[in-house]
Amino acid sequence: MILKTISRPLSFLGFTQGGADFKRLQTFTTSLSGIELTYQFPVSLYGDSYLEEHIPVVNLKDGTGKDSMSFFEGYRFATNTWWYWGSWFKQGFDPIGHMRVVWEVFPMDKSYAITNLKSDNIIEYLKAFIYGVYENEGGDNDRIRKSCYDFYVRNGGYPVEHYAEDIQRMIKKKSIKHPDDYQVVSIHGNEWVRFSTYERRNEVFHVLPLNRDFLLVNMARFYYDCRDVKDSWEHEGIKIIDTVMNSTRVDFPDD
C-alpha cells in the first residue's frame, strides 16, 4: 500500500514508475482440450497492471470460440497489461507506454501444406502464411501499394506513369517488412518458434504447434505512448516476455 501511495509522486523526481514486480508471480492454467498450459504473469509493483481476461478451459474439439476464431484472429484466452509513467516535468501525468501480453490459439490454415510439426516446417508455414497476410489481395502491403498509387492519381498533375519512381519510393518506405529473425527456443521440453516485428507494430511472438489443427501463440506488444523515453522501460518489457515464457509449461496427454 505504501508503494502504491508513493509511486506516482516519485515521477516528480524523474523516475520511471509502474511496471512489473518480478518477485511476485501469479500462476495461471488453461486446459486446451486435454493439453495443459501453465504460465505466470508478474504482478504490478505499483498496481498499474491488470489481468483483462483469463479463460481456464478452451475446448478445441467442439469448436469453442470457433465463431471468433480465424486464420487472422485467433481465440484469445488470456491478456495482461503493464503501464509505465515517466517524469512529471516532461510527460505530466500521462503514461509513457504500456506492455501487453496475450495468449491465443490459432487454427492452422489447411491451404498451406505441412508434412510434420517439427520446428523447421513450422517456420516455413509461418513465413508462407505471413507473406500471404501482407502481400495477397487485401493484405497490409497490398493496401499500402494501392493507397500510394491512389495518392498520385488524386494529387499528381501528370499521368500516373510519370510518378512511377516516386510511387515505388513511397511504397518501400511505408511497406511492412516481413519478419526475418525466426529462432527456435527450447522451453521446458517444447520447441517454440520465436520471431519479432519491428515496423509499425513492435511485437514478439512465440509459437508452438498443439497438433496439426492448432497453434498456440504468445504475443507481446510494446505500445510507445512517448517514443522519446521508450528506453526507460523497454528493457523491462523484454524481461516481462522472458519471465512469462520461461515459466510456461505445455503438458501433452499421453497417446
128 burial (CB, 10 Å; 0-12 / 13-18 / 19+) is middle
CA distance 118 to 7: 47
pLDDT in tens, 198-220: 655 588 999 999 998 899 999 99
In this predicted structure, the answer to whether residue 195 has a pLDDT above a threshold of 90 is: yes
Tell me which amino acid residue 15 is. Answer: F
What residues pair up with 28 in beta bridges, in sequence order?
A: 39
Give pLDDT, residue 26. Answer: 92
Q: How far is the CA of 31 from the CAs of 111, 131, 149, 204, in angstroms?
A: 28, 31, 48, 24
Q: Give the pLDDT score at 170.
A: 87
Task: Compute the Cα dihedral for 197, 202, 208, 209 and give only its sign.
Answer: negative
Question: What average pLDDT does the segment 220-245 reach?
Answer: 80
Question: Mean of the per-residue pLDDT values for the chain?
Answer: 80
Q: Percentage of the chain with pLDDT > 90?
A: 33
Instruction: Label residue 245 by pLDDT band (50, 70, 90).
Output: very high
Of residues 64 and 201, more confidence is placed in 201
In this predicted structure, the answer to whether residue 67 has a pLDDT above a threshold of 50 is no
**Residue 225 banded pLDDT, cuts 50, 70, 90:** low
Q: What are phi and psi of 196, to 5 degrees?
A: -130, 155
Q: Quick check: helix, strand or coil at residue 58? A: strand
- The pLDDT of 56-72, averaged and rounded, is 61
pLDDT interval class at 14 (50, 70, 90): very low
Helix axes 140-155, 164-174, angle to 10 degrees: 140
How is 66-124 classified by DSSP, letter by letter? Answer: GGG--SSS-EEEEEEEEEEE--HHHHTTSEEEEEEEEEEEEE--TTS--S--SHHHHHH
Q: Measure Cα distances from 175 to 61, 126, 144, 170 in Å.
A: 38, 19, 6, 8
Query: Edge to edge, what strands does the sheet with 249-251 contain?
Result: 57-58, 20-32, 35-44, 249-251
CA pair distance 11, 228, nearest whole angstrom? 16
Give me the pLDDT at residue 120, please.
93
pLDDT class of 3 with cuts at 50, 70, 90: very low
CA pair distance 16, 9, nearest whole angstrom: 11
* SS3 of residue 188 by DSSP: coil
